Amino acid sequence: MLLEKILQSQGFGSRKQCQSLIQRGLVKVNGEICDQLKTQFQPQDLEFQVGEYRCRYREHVYIALNKPQGYECSHQAQFHFSVFQLFPEYLRERGLQTVGRLDQDTTGLILLSDDGRFIQASTHPKKHVDKEYWLKTADPMTESQIQQLQQGVELRNEKGIFQASSIQQMNDYELRMTIHQGVYHQVKRMLAAVGNKVTELHRHRVGELELPTDLAQGEWIYLTAEQVQLAISRRES
């Protein structure tokens, strides 16, 4: 494949823009400057550098982000920062999207990809991918409230019953709760339905993929093929 086409597929601009990058000597392949337009490479696992960015060719990208507070999962954030501001332009240009959403004040694990099929499969209601949240409440949790969450509650303007797949009470004010549905503000609305309020919310796990302990807020990593499969796997109860 022509080098300019490889660069274009990886988000580095139009074909003309990629040609310009090559001609200006801004592209290195295997550590050597490549300024010839007609040069071809086998794209699979190709390592290259464009300016300051060191890259490896990826047909699709699968990313885990430790989302900080104050960031919206939208390209056109209205009242806060956008999570896409945490990524270099070339990733944004290749159509990066979040897999589902987290509220601006919710922290933790969120997945992103440019693979439309993966995003659709991961978010389809029938997939029932578990999501584990760690949360703090305004008032002490009672045994009755825990039971209601386990048995299921109704949410205004939603059909059906919404229940926690599992609940672990850490202390009077802290829970670890797993859900497999994914309606708008679900965890917060479930706690409100039993007469309490979420004051802090953090997503720790999607499917079998846990947030890496060494991934600081605002940082992200590329997922391996194994990690991608973990993210769409349902934990056996």
Q: Measuring CA to CA, which residue among 128, 68, 63 is closest to residue 97?
A: 63
> How many Cα atoms are found within 13 Å in the side-chain-facing hemisphere of 154?
4
172 close to 183: Cβ distance less than 8 angstroms: no
* Residue 205 token pair: 């796990």
- Residues 15 and 37: beta-carbon distance below 8 Å: no
Name, in order, each residue with C-beta under 8 angstroms of 174's C-beta and a sequence gap of 6 or more.
134, 135, 136, 137
The residue written with tokens 């045994």 in the block is: 143
Report the first-to-last Cα separation within the chain, whole angstroms: 47
Catalytic position from the list 35, 45, 103, 130 = 103
* Distance, CA of 97 to chain centre: 8
Distance of CA 124 to the CA centre of its chain: 15
45 catalytic? Reply is no
Residues recognised as catalytic: 103
